[in-house]
Every structure is written in C-alpha cells, then in structure tokens.
Amino acid sequence: MSGETNNHRTGHCLCGAVRYRVPTPSEGEIAHCHCSMCRRAAGAVAVTWFTVPTEGLEMLGTPLEIYKSSAEVERGFCPTCHTPISFWSSKYPDTIDVTLATLDHPEEFAAQMHIWTESRLPWLKLDTHLPDRLGDPDEDDLH
C-alpha cells in the first residue's frame, strides 16, 4: 500500500528507486543531528532525522543497502544513487531514524531539537531557538 494519509507519509531517494512509507512523524521525534558520523555519511553540515518504530518503515521500492558504520549502527541508503535514508542502532532496536529531507513533503515538519551538539560546526546557525542536547537524545543532557 502506498500513498500519504494523516497517519502515514511516503518518501524516496534522489533517483526514486528506493521508496518507503512510514508513520507520520510526531512531536518530539524530529532532530537536527550534528555528530561527525552523520555529517560525513551525508556530506552535509547536519542531518535532520525523525524517529519511527522499526516495523513502521515499509519499503515500497528497491531495498536499502546497509552499511555498518560502527559496532552498534547500521545506515541504510539507496544502492543506486546512495541517498542516505535510515539510521538504526542496536542500542534502540525498536526504533529507526529516517532522513526528513527524503519525505515527499518534508516542509510539513520541523525539528524540535538539536542533538550531538558538542560536534556542531561552530559557524552553523540553524534553528537557534531549539533546545540543544550534547549527545544522545534519550539521555538527560538538555542544555
């Protein structure tokens, strides 16, 4: 089943080979990540992720290629155009993060926080009104 509803959203990679459907992102589940690994994986100054239940990521097109970027983390990307799509950590096996920019309508959602801000590039000024978390968003390190 594909298509957007109030409860689900669709997205795709740059070339369109990878298509997916996910539950609609909700409040508190969208964050700008500043960690150096996400920056390098995406070739960007930050990556905005939203979190959904792992079983909520429904692949509709070409399956993701998986790259194990650390002992605990698997990153999913399009095997054709290499667009980053997902981030899964064995630390939180029941959830998966999806790149907000790959949604068909990312303009409908906004980040609610910054995470891994100890790695933020010092010249980056993005959504400065949002709360910062030095590390893991599930740890109590709000600053």
Q: What is the DSSP-derived secondary structure letter of residue 90?
A: T
Instruction: Give the gyration radius of the chain's Cα atoms.
Output: 14
pTM of the model: 0.85
pLDDT-based confidence at 54, cuts 50/70/90? very high
**Residue 129, token pair as written in the block:** 């009104």
pLDDT of 1: 42
Domain range annotation of the chain: 8-119
H runs (alpha helix) in 23-111: 36-42
Specify whether the CB–CB gap between 11 and 73 falls below 8 A.
Answer: no
CATH architecture of 8-119: Beta Complex (2.170)
pLDDT of 41: 93
pLDDT-based confidence at 96, cuts 50/70/90? very high
Q: Using alpha carbons, select from 86, 100, 122 the residue that is nearest to residue 26.
A: 100
